[in-house]
Amino acid sequence: MAIVKMKRLHMVGMAGDREELLRLLQHMGCVEVVQPEADPDDPLWESLTRPETTGLAAAHEEKNQAERALEVLKRYAPVKSGLLAPKPGLREGELLSEEQAQKAREAAQEVNALDRRLAAIRAELNKLEGQKAVLEPWVPLDLPLETDSTGQVAVQLGTLPANLPMNQAEGEVQAAGELAQLTEVSTDRDSHYCMLVCHTSQAEGVLEALKALGWSRANLRDWTGTASENLGRLGQETKALKEEAASIEEKLSGMGERNAPLRQLSDLAGVTVSREESRSRLVDMGQTFLLEGWVPAERWPELNKALGAYPCACEVSDPAPEDYPQVPVQLKNNWFTKPLNMVTDMYSLPAYGSLDPNPLMAPFFILFYGMMMADMGYGILMMLAAVVVIKKAQPDGATMRYMMPLLGLCGVSTFLWGAATGGFFGDLIPQLMALLNQGEVADYALPKLFDPLDKAVNVLVGALVLGVVQIFTGMAVSMYKQIKAGETMAALCNEGAWFLVFLLAGGGFALGQLNVGLIAAVVVLVITQSYGKKGLVGKAMGVFGSLYNGITGYFSDILSYSRLMALMLAGAVTAQVFNTLGAMTGNVVAFFIIAMVGNALNFALNILGCFVHDMRLQCLEYFGRFYEDGGKPFRPLDLDTKYYKVVK
C-alpha cells in the first residue's frame, strides 16, 4: 500500500530491432516511453533525428475507418448484447493477426463505400425534391419550358406576390401595352405563377410595370419539355434511387457478422497508435536508437531478462529528488484500499516521493459514507448491485473497476449503520405491520442501538468526534512527514503544539479545571509559536496569528463534519415521510407503491449526495493536512483496447 518506486530506463538498441523491441515492451506493459530532453550544450544532439511519423498517421486513419464502419453497422445491423455483458476475451496473437486484420480492412472499405453511396443518394434525392418543388407550380402549363421569345413575340415566365390581386396585375399589363397578355398558371400561399406574352415593341414597358408589382422571372431555361414531362422523369429517377438505397440498406442490415472483425481492427489500430506514439519519442542515431522511459522497480528484473535476448545496452537509475515532478505515479494497494483510487484519481494523484493517501483515507471514507446513508435496505441494494456488476460485467474501465468495489464496501458500512439505527427503507417494516394489524407504529419498531431522530444531539456530537479523530490523524501524518524530512522542530511547534493545546483544553474541561487548561494551552502557544521569530513584535505577531488562524481553522473544519449528522437525519426523515404517506392510504398495494417510489428517489439522491459530501470531507478537511498532490499517472506502453479484453 504505497507509491510504486520507479526507475529511469535508458536503452540503446539496434535500429533493425526497434519494431520488435517496441512490440516486446507493449506485450509486457511495464515501460512508459518518454521523450529525452535535449542537451543544448552537447553538439551530438544536433546530429540526432526523430523517427518518421507516417506510421502514426496511417494507424489513426485505420482506426477512424474502423470506427466509422462500426457506426454505420450500429445503425443498420446493431449487435445485441446483454446489459452487463463483459468484454469478450481475445488472445494477443489473434488481435495482432495480420490475416484477420486484412479481412477486416476489406470489410471496413466495403461498409464505408456503401455508406458513402447512401450519402450520395440522399444528396441526389434532396436535389431532385428541390427540382420537383420548382416544377410543380408549372404543371398546368402545357408548353415546353424551353420556349423562348421570337423576333416579334416576347415570352417570359415569372412570379408575383400572392397578396397581389391578379385582376390588378392584368389591368396594369393591359395599361402598359395593348399587345400583351398575362396568364395565371397556378398559385400558392406565397406566389402567383404566371406567363407573360407580349409584342416585343411593348415588352420593355410591360416588364417595367410588372417589376413595380414585384415580378420575378422564373429560371427554367435549363429544362426541356413540359413541366409535367420533367416531373415524370424526376419521379422515375427518384424511384430508382430509392430502390438502390433500399437495396444498400438491406445489404448493410445483413452485415452484422462484420461487427466482430471491425471491432478487432479498431482495437488493433489503437494498439498500433500507442506503439507508434512511443516510437515517435525515440531518438535515431544511425544504426542504433535511444529509448528513455520509466519502469517500476519491481518489474525491472523481469524486463531485464526479456531484453537479454537482444543486442542492446540498458541502464536504470533511481530518480533524484529534483526529478520527482517528472516521475509518473502508480499506486499499489490491496482489495480494501484499491477502490479508493477512484477518489484519488478524481482529486489528483499524490506527488512521487510522498505518501499514498488511500490506506489513510479508506476507513474514514467508508465509515462516513455508511453513517450518512445509514439504512439496511439501501446497504443491501448497494452490495447486490456491486456483486452483480462485478461478477457479470467484469468491469475493467478506468472508473468502473474501482466504483463497483467501492460501492460494495460502502454498502456494507451503510448496512451496519442501518442496523445500529434500526432503519430498513426508513421505517417501512413498522409502518407495514401497523397497517396490517391496525396497531401503533412504535410497537413494531426494529431493534436498534440509537434513534438518530430522538438522539440528534448525540449524533451531532459523535459526528464531531469522528471529525476530530480524522483531523488528528491528518496532523499526525503531517508530523511524521516533517520528522522524516528532518524538520523535527517545525513538526513539534506546529501540529505538535496544537495536539498539546487540544489535550490541555480537553483535559481541563474533563477535570473541571477549564481555566487552568486554557492557561496552560496559551503558555504552550506562546512558547512554540514564537519560536524562530525575531524581536518582541515578531514573536507577538506569531502567537496571535497562530492563535487566530488555528482556532478559526480547526473550529470550522471540525464543524464541517456536522454534515454527517445532517445527511443521516435527512435520509431517515425523507424515507419515513414517504412511508407515512403510503400508510395514510390504508391500502397495502398503494402503500408499497408510494413507499417504494419515495425510497427510490431518496436512495438515488443520497447515493450521489453522500459521495459528494464524503469527497469534500476527505479532499478539503483531511487532505489539506498532509497530502501532496500533482502526480502524473503512469501510462505504460500496453495493449489498451476498447472492445476486447486481451489475454496475453
pLDDT for the residue 534 = 62
Residue 89: phi, psi to the nearest 5?
Answer: -80, 150
User: In Å, what is the CA distance from 326 to each residue of 9, 240, 320, 565?
Assistant: 13, 63, 10, 42
Secondary structure in 3-state letters for 212-265? HHCCEECCCCCCCCCHHHHHHHHHHHHHHHHHHHHHHHHHHHCCHHHHHHHHHH
d(CA 607, CA 96): 42
β-bridge pairing 191-199 and 153-161? antiparallel
Residue with cell 398558371: 185
Strands (E), 318-429: 328-329, 331-332, 349-350
d(CA 424, CA 447): 11
pLDDT for the residue 46 = 67
Band (91; pLDDT cuts 50, 70, 90): very high
Tell me the residue length of the chain.
648
Q: What is the mean pLDDT of residues 607-620?
A: 94
77, 249 in Cβ contact below 8 A? no
Burial class for 457, CB neighbours closer than 10 Å (0-12, 13-18, 19+): exposed
d(CA 137, CA 193): 7
491, 482 in Cβ contact below 8 A? yes
pLDDT for the residue 530 = 59
Instruction: Check residues 554 and 461 and name the one with the higher pLDDT.
Output: 461
- Helix, strand, coil proportions of the chain in percent (round to 5)? 65, 10, 25
pLDDT for the residue 286 = 82
Q: Nearest-CA neighbor of 343 among 364, 322, 327, 370?
A: 364
* Exposed e or buried b per residue across 299-335, where buried means at least 16 C-beta atoms within 10 angstroms of its C-beta: bbeebeeebeeeebebebeebeeeebeebbbbbebee
Show the cell assigned to 555.
473550529
Q: pLDDT by residue (tens digit) across 486-545? A: 888 878 877 887 888 778 777 777 777 777 777 777 777 666 765 555 656 555 666 666
pLDDT for the residue 110 = 96
Residue 50 has pLDDT above 80, yes or no: no
pLDDT for the residue 529 = 67
d(CA 519, CA 497): 14
User: In Å, what is the CA distance from 565 to each residue of 99, 377, 505?
Assistant: 63, 19, 25
3-state DSSP call for residue 155? strand
Q: What is the mean pLDDT of residues 309-314?
A: 93
208, 225 in Cβ contact below 8 A? no
Residue 352 has pLDDT above 70, yes or no: yes
pLDDT for the residue 253 = 94
d(CA 297, CA 8): 9
pLDDT for the residue 239 = 96
- Taking phi over 0 as left and psi of -120 to 50 as alpha, with beta for the rest, 426 belongs to left
Q: pLDDT by residue (tens digit) across 145-160? A: 888 888 899 999 999 9
DSSP string, 120-154: HHHHHHHHHHHHHHHHGGGTT--S-TT----SSEE
Greatest distance between any 2 Cα atoms in the chain: 124
pLDDT for the residue 137 = 94
d(CA 204, CA 630): 81
Residue with cell 479484453: 645
User: In Å, what is the CA distance from 280 to each residue of 17, 20, 272, 634?
Assistant: 15, 15, 12, 18
Best CATH choice for the domain 147-220 from the list 3.30.70.3150, 3.30.1370.60, 3.30.70.2750, 3.40.710.10: 3.30.70.2750
> What DSSP state is assigned to residue 37?
P
pLDDT for the residue 539 = 57
pLDDT for the residue 40 = 66
Show the cell assigned to 567.
445527511
Burial class for 151, CB neighbours closer than 10 Å (0-12, 13-18, 19+): exposed
d(CA 481, CA 620): 19
> What DSSP state is assigned to residue 49?
B
Secondary structure in 3-state letters for 86-118? CCCEEEHHHHCCHHHHHHHHHHHHHHHHHHHHH
Report the half-sphere exposure of 574 (CA within 13 A, side-chain side): 20
Burial class for 541, CB neighbours closer than 10 Å (0-12, 13-18, 19+): middle
Residue 7, strand partner residues: 295
Report the half-sphere exposure of 316 (CA within 13 A, side-chain side): 14
Domain boundaries, the chain: 147-220
Residue 36 has pLDDT above 90, yes or no: no
Residue 79 has pLDDT above 90, yes or no: no
Band (162; pLDDT cuts 50, 70, 90): very high
Q: What is the mean pLDDT of residues 615-626?
A: 92
Residue 561: phi, psi to the nearest 5?
Answer: -75, -5
Q: Nearest-CA neighbor of 106 among 61, 66, 59, 60?
A: 66
Q: pLDDT by residue (tens digit) across 120-132? A: 999 999 999 999 9
Q: What is the mean pLDDT of residues 7-31?
A: 94
pLDDT > 90 fraction of the chain, expressed in percent and rounded: 71
d(CA 105, CA 58): 13
pLDDT for the residue 537 = 56
Q: Which residues contact 178 (CB under 8 A, 6 or more apart)?
A: 202
3-state DSSP call for residue 646? strand
Q: pLDDT by residue (tens digit) across 177-191? A: 889 999 999 999 999
331, 341 in Cβ contact below 8 A? yes
Band (54; pLDDT cuts 50, 70, 90): confident
Residue 157: what residue type? L
Find the angle CA(381)-CA(387)-CA(392) to the nearest 5 degrees.
125
Residue 224 has pLDDT above 80, yes or no: yes
pLDDT for the residue 151 = 86
Residue 330, strand partner residues: none
Q: What is the mean pLDDT of the chain?
A: 90
| pTM for the full predicted model | 0.84
Q: Nearest-CA neighbor of 293 among 329, 332, 328?
A: 328
Q: Which of 104-118, 196-210, 358-372, 405-419 has the lowest average pLDDT?
A: 196-210
Band (30; pLDDT cuts 50, 70, 90): very high
